Structure 1
Amino acid sequence: MKIALVHDWLPFMGGAERVLTNFFELYPKAPIYTTICNKSKIDGPLREANIITSNLQKKNKEIKNHRKLFPLMMTAIERFNLNEYDVVLSSSSSVAKGVITSPSTMHICYCHSPMRYAWEFSHEYAGKMAGKGSLKGKLLSYFLTGIRLWDNASSDRVDYFIANSQNVAKRIWKHYRRKSVVIHPPVRCNLFNISDIDDEYFLIVSRLQEYKRIDLAIEAFNKLGFPLVIIGDGPDREKLERMAKSNIKFLGRESDEVIKEHYAKCRAFIFPGEEDFGITPLEAMASGRPVIAYRKGGALETVVENKTGVFFDNQNCEDLTKAIEEFESMTFDKYDIRKHAEAFDEAVFKENIKVFIEEKYEEFNKNMESENRDI
């Protein structure tokens, strides 16, 4: 099989890029097609990959704000010529699934999410981007209608969908009316270890964006006075730092070694947002540390209540504060937590992806032969 990988964009490393890394490790000869790539911001095996960018990126010049290019990305992704490949494996939460392939090419999409800003989260995104009731907001609403039409139409170009969670599988069915198989994203368990040192701080590892709800955690820890360490950067950092009291420390972007050490020694990991899946809680659990999470989204598929963590029901300061206070009176077994995380290890993920592709490729070719006989 001659395989190509397709990814929305590569401005920096995140959870979706860790999935792409696993795809590349499975198929190291496969080129990666993407709209833009900031090569200085990617790490690990992807540094050795043959990354082919779209016409949106000139002479490998790095893109500071890739989101401004979004209106052009749908056309850019469609311009890639993938006719020479037997299999296209796309990693998509936006435009990657929209690549055009020949009838003899099997397209499997690993879907991190249908476009969040196009569907049920569109009102939230539009309000934040343009302001509620503004002229700009009304114009954006018309633009999003067109995006939804393209997003739905492009889903028909996919032969088989893989969802990263049951949560996303439901959304794929709702918005695309397509069935999918769930294969959870991988956590690289061998990167994390259990420590005998139990420090007093709670931990967040996250990009500092509004929907991550880091503000909620800051509000709760301002009230409780417990130490909180926040690792990560993003557009909301200055605003969040202004909110925080002295018991809350912002470390910014840190190396894998620093993150690994903080996971291993923290009191617990705080996960206040609603994610389609969310890999950071599993990284904390691979380090033997419990998670305090909002009871919604992907956390419901990774956190086992009272065994690997606790939930809070409503996304407000009072409920999160109550969950933290209840957690303080509980005990957890580090090794049981670690064992649970190992079920999501990247070795399991790679084997599941490999078997799925091989089975579907055989099925796809049989269907092609049958259709050719009927013509």
Structure 2
Amino acid sequence: MHHLRRAELATITRLRGPRRRASSELPLALTARNAKIAVVHDWCPNFRGGERVLARICKLFPNAEVFTLFDFLPKDVKQQYFEDVAFHASAANRLPLVQRYYRSLFFLCPFLIEQFDVTGYDAVISSSAAFARGVLTRPDQPHLCYVHSPIRYAWDEQFSYLEQGHLGFGPKGLLFRYMLHKLRTWDTRTAHGPDLMLANSSYVRSRIGRIYGRQAEVVYPPVALDELEFVAGKDDYYVTASFLAPYKRTDLVIQAFNEMPDRRLVIVGEGQQSQSLRAMARSNIVFTGYLPRRDYVRTVAKAKAMVFGGCEDFGIALAEAQACGTPLIAFGRGGACDIVQPFGETEDPTGILFERQSMASLKAAVELFEENQPAITPQACRANAARFSEERFDLAILKALAATLAMHVSR
């Protein structure tokens, strides 16, 4: 990068120094150069896993500014996690009642993301599960992309989403299929924009390789271990916690526990399926709705196990449960395979992985857990969660950005 100041070049040299440099020194080395970082994030409808990653990146770079298509974060969340961080939202964020239908504007999002002018910043970090990666940058501008997932509904889960939306091959269905085709074309074209890609799990890394033909290093999302209460003495209930969307497969968990009436299940979260899921649940299943952070952590920490039936790209709620000392019973695909130390395969197991998204497979996993519960200790779960610490995430991001900067210096 020919126009970097001497101080910036010195920072790169320090960052590429001995591997044993303490992680606490690396953030100081980078922030001391007063770098301006544009952090581009798809959208901020609420504060979930992707926004936690965004918050950590902003904390790591004090002069970062956020560019996002839609910003619906409450003021208290901004004050707690994004103090003094400037947010720039797209023009569509000002549309009347847009919070109700912003997801339906996906066909406009490639155009909208390209309207952000980030060319005046020292570097760009995109936090992308869909569109952020397509932001327009200068040819000599470092661009690091943290990939939460390739666009789910445009690629491998297109048919599932179309089925859930009752979109067949009528006029509306054909229109949606064509728009998804155009989105895939744009997505493929922009896949080679970033200098370096990071994947949030091994599962996402494999999808990046298959869809985009690019290699990516796995950097797990950050888990705030200090915020998560460790509870060794568990209560007599299971918990599942997520945004209640179809791909989370909370319906599968409910179906299984409907047939296990002697076992209690607590469901934390809200979403588009809230009403239909409540209607199908029997009396041994309780819905809490959305819980404040402290109550959420306490509920997860006291559960005998967290049950999850979906395929997550990573699943930060699963890693947080481990930090609370809570074992996992999860579908054995996606990020759960990175998080869980499976029973029967490791010396210190932290949960059970079941093979099929079926009621029978999930019920068998619950029974296997109860038969071997003493072998899956809360202490092992907490120790396992240390692999996902915030400090480890910070160090990985700093090293990746240093490598991205070095690519431009060497050109």
TM-score normalized by the length of structure 2: 0.86
Distance 2:124 2:278 in 1: 43
2:133 pairs with 1:92: no
Gaps of 5+ in 1: 368-375
Offset of residue 176 of structure 1: 1.1
The answer for the alignment partner of 1:373 in structure 2 is none
The answer for the alignment partner of 1:309 in structure 2 is 351
- Cα displacement string for residues 109-167 of structure 1 (whole angstroms, at most 9, x for unaligned residues): 10001100111111111222243344322222112111100010111221111111111
Offset of residue 298 of structure 1: 0.9
Distance 2:402 2:194 in 1: 16
2:323 pairs with 1:277: no
- Which one of 288, 291, 296 corresponds to residue 328 of structure 2? 291
Note closer, same or farther for the CA distance 1:26–1:75 as it changes in structure 2 (3 Å cut). same
2:401 pairs with 1:357: yes
2:63 pairs with 1:29: yes
2:400 pairs with 1:338: no
Q: Which moved more, 1:91-100 or 1:152-161?
A: 152-161
Which one-letter code corresponds to 2:101 in the other structure?
N
Offset of residue 343 of structure 1: 1.2
Offset of residue 73 of structure 1: 1.3
- Cα displacement string for residues 266-309 of structure 1 (whole angstroms, at most 9, x for unaligned residues): 01001110011111111110011100000111111110111000
The answer for the alignment partner of 1:117 in structure 2 is 153
Distance 1:19 1:366 in 2: 29
* 1:57-76 superposed matches below 5 A: 57-58=93-94, 63-76=99-112
The answer for the alignment partner of 1:50 in structure 2 is 86
| Preserved contact between residue 164 and residue 182 of structure 1 (Cα < 8 Å) | yes
2:46 pairs with 1:2: no
Distance 1:161 1:216 in 2: 34
Distance 2:72 2:179 in 1: 27
Distance 1:121 1:166 in 2: 18
Gaps of 5+ in 2: 1-34, 344-348
* 1:218-233 superposed matches below 5 A: 218-225=254-261, 226-233=263-270
2:48 pairs with 1:14: yes
The answer for the alignment partner of 1:213 in structure 2 is 249
Note closer, same or farther for the CA distance 1:133–1:64 as it changes in structure 2 (3 Å cut). closer
Q: Secondary structure at the match of 1:5?
A: strand
Number of equivalenced pairs: 367
Distance 2:40 2:50 in 1: 12
| Preserved contact between residue 38 and residue 62 of structure 1 (Cα < 8 Å) | no
Offset of residue 67 of structure 1: 0.3
The answer for the alignment partner of 1:370 in structure 2 is none
Distance 1:28 1:255 in 2: 27
Q: Secondary structure at the match of 2:388?
A: coil
The answer for the alignment partner of 2:223 in structure 1 is 187
The answer for the alignment partner of 2:4 in structure 1 is none
Distance 1:158 1:362 in 2: 14
2:289 pairs with 1:255: no
| Preserved contact between residue 31 and residue 50 of structure 1 (Cα < 8 Å) | yes
| Preserved contact between residue 98 and residue 154 of structure 1 (Cα < 8 Å) | yes
Q: Secondary structure at the match of 1:339?
A: helix
Distance 2:234 2:93 in 1: 47
The answer for the alignment partner of 2:364 in structure 1 is 322
Distance 1:10 1:281 in 2: 21
Distance 2:407 2:192 in 1: 18
| Preserved contact between residue 130 and residue 140 of structure 1 (Cα < 8 Å) | no
Note closer, same or farther for the CA distance 1:139–1:61 as it changes in structure 2 (3 Å cut). closer
Q: Secondary structure at the match of 1:203?
A: strand
- Cα displacement string for residues 319-366 of structure 1 (whole angstroms, at most 9, x for unaligned residues): 101110111111222111101101111111111111211132123221
Which one-letter code corresponds to 1:104 in the other structure?
D
* 1:241-252 superposed matches below 5 A: 241-252=278-289
- Cα displacement string for residues 223-258 of structure 1 (whole angstroms, at most 9, x for unaligned residues): 011110011000000000000001111111111100
2:195 pairs with 1:159: yes
Q: Secondary structure at the match of 2:93?
A: coil
What fraction of aligned residue pairs are identical, expressed as a percent?
Answer: 36
- Which one of 93, 99, 106 corresponds to residue 142 of structure 2? 106
The answer for the alignment partner of 2:235 in structure 1 is 199
